């Protein structure tokens, strides 16, 4: 939805002083009250609200937690977040994970004797302990320094996994040299890889069904995200999935991997790309709105299960015109914003309009990064109010007009004699965010515009004492 610019809104309010307030949308039978002449709009206050954590596509981990708490099994959780997919067996049993790259040296070790196999197929026994490997691939065995032909495959002994720089990994560690630097790849069983992924994605004390759903999603995502044209299949970081190795494993997450052994999700015979994130904020995002590719099983849908998430709704924040400009590194205050929404209801783009008239177009991801937001499921609402330019006699209706656009629960509050703010009028803005509300102050009174529990601009209505002419 493309919102009105500051200029258009100013014209709407200015016109309201002569021709009355904006009329309600089609189907409404109640007209807003006729306003008194209005002054120019106040400087805007921007209200930032939002929800969720992460991209919001596919499985919500907090939603999976809530479903598991409600005794739904992992198949039900997966079918909710990936509708139309089918559980199948993984087509491969091993993956190659890049765990170190461009390194001048590494330390490879084992608590028990192990071995190394070189490019010729020859296998050399190695004693328990550590060896330091450099790009020259020289190993000292029994006091003799030997250069082995690459690639090298370090093979663990029975019952004792290998370590790389002190960190344990299952499977074999393969060493190659690229641009005179070492590259280490972990050749590991698919399920053993998931053993080192799952603990970093969900707390191990969460219900088994949530862990099982995450295990299947992580396994599927890994196979759907195989890196092409490399001597490895997966990264050990967010470019694929975080892979923590043996140190992260726990009995609960291991049981979840074993309980879903080799299971993946497929769609139309192909491995499903099972995106997942921490919290959907109550509405999952469609893949095309986030990644630009439409995927039948990654659709936007209401997600009431996410309500248990601590990120389900953010604490609102406010910005002045000046502070919003500063937050984006602009040279002038921001006098208005325009937001284009995706069908999922998330911003596709945000245009900041500077006081100079210059328009700055940003992607939602740019706004997220600049403001340090947890997701792109945010709104940047606008609060502005116009002050009647003359005094009224006690009790005379006064029309307060302004803008409360894209905000929750907009209202006018009145400053009481005790110094606290009390509710005065609940507002019902029309489609463009403009509103007109009637107040009847019996004495000079100060009001402020609020939304989402956040204070907006204030105005004071002067009221002449009874019998005193204006």
Task: Encode pLDDT of 10-58 as tens digits.
Answer: 333 333 333 333 333 433 333 444 443 445 789 999 999 999 999 999 9
Q: How far is CA 55 from CA 113, 240, 274, in A?
A: 45, 15, 13
pLDDT tens digit sequence for 123-136: 999 999 999 999 99
Continuous segment of H or E residues that includes residue 415: strand 411-415
Q: Is the pLDDT of residue 318 over 70?
A: yes
> How much is the CA Rg of the chain, to the nearest whole Å?
31
Which residues, at least 6 apart from 41, have a Cβ–Cβ distance to it below 8 Å? 9, 10, 13, 384, 385, 386, 402, 403
Q: Is the pLDDT of residue 354 over 80?
A: yes
Query: CA torsion sign, 369 to 374 to 379 to 385?
Result: negative
Is 468 buried (19+), middle (13-18) or exposed (0-12) by CB count in 10 A?
A: exposed
pLDDT tens digit sequence for 375-384: 999 999 999 9
pLDDT tens digit sequence for 387-436: 776 677 898 899 999 999 999 999 999 999 999 999 999 999 999 999 99
Is 71 buried (19+), middle (13-18) or exposed (0-12) by CB count in 10 A?
A: exposed
What is the pLDDT at residue 143? 77
Query: CA torsion sign, 400 to 404 to 410 to 414?
Result: negative
Q: Are 72 and 214 in contact (CB under 8 A)?
A: no
Is 341 buried (19+), middle (13-18) or exposed (0-12) by CB count in 10 A?
A: middle
Of 448, 388, 441, 460, residue with least CA distance to 13: 388
Question: What is the model's pTM?
Answer: 0.86
pLDDT tens digit sequence for 326-339: 999 999 999 999 99
């Amino acid at each position: 939805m493309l919102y009105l610019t500051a200029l258009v809104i100013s014209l709407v309010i200015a016109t309201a002083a002569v021709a009355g307030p904006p009329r309600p949308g089609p189907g409404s039978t109640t007209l807003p009250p006729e306003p008194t002449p209005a002054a120019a709009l106040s400087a805007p206050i921007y209200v930032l609200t939002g929800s969720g954590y992460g991209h919001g596509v596919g499985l919500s981990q907090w939603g999976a937690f809530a479903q598991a708490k409600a005794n739904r099994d992992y198949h039900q959780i997966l079918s909710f977040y990936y509708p139309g997919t089918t559980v199948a067996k993984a087509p491969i049993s091993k993956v190659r994970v890049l765990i170190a790259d461009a390194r001048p040296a590494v330390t490879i070790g084992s608590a028990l004797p192990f071995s190394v196999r070189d490019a010729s197929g020859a296998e050399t026994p190695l004693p328990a302990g550590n060896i330091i490997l450099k790009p020259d691939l020289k190993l000292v065995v029994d006091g003799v320094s030997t250069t082995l032909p690459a690639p090298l495959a370090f093979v663990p002994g029975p019952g004792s996994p290998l370590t790389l720089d002190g960190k344990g990994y299952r499977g074999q560690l393969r060493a190659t040299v690229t641009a005179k630097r070492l590259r280490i790849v972990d050749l590991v069983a698919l399920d053993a890889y998931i053993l080192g992924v799952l603990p970093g994605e969900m707390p191990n004390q969460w219900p088994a069904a949530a862990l099982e759903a995450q295990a299947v999603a992580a396994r599927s995502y890994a196979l759907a995200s195989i890196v092409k044209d490399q001597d490895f299949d997966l990264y050990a970081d967010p470019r694929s999935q975080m892979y923590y190795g043996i140190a992260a494993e726990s009995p609960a997450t291991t049981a979840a991997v074993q309980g879903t052994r080799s299971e993946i999700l497929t769609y139309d015979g192909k491995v499903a790309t099972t995106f997942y994130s921490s919290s959907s904020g109550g509405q999952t995002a469609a893949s095309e709105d986030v990644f630009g590719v439409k995927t039948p099983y990654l659709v936007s849908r209401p997600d009431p299960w996410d309500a248990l998430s601590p990120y389900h709704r953010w604490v609102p924040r406010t910005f002045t015109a000046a502070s919003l400009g500063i937050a984006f590194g602009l040279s002038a205050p921001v006098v208005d914003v325009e937001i284009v929404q995706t069908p999922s209801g998330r911003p596709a783009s945000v245009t900041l309009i500077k006081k100079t008239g210059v328009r700055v177009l940003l992607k939602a991801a740019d706004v997220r990064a600049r403001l340090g937001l947890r997701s792109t499921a945010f709104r940047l609402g606008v609060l502005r109010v116009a002050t009647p330019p003359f005094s009224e006699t006690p009790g005379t209706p006064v029309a307060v007009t302004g803008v409360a656009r894209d905000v929750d629960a907009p209202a006018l509050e009145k400053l009481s004699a005790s110094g606290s703010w009390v509710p005065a009028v609940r507002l019902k803005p029309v489609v463009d965010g403009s509103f007109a509300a009637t107040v009847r102050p019996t004495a000079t009174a100060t009001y402020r515009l609020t939304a989402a529990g956040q204070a907006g601009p204030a105005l004071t209505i002067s009221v002449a004492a009874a019998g005193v002419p204006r």
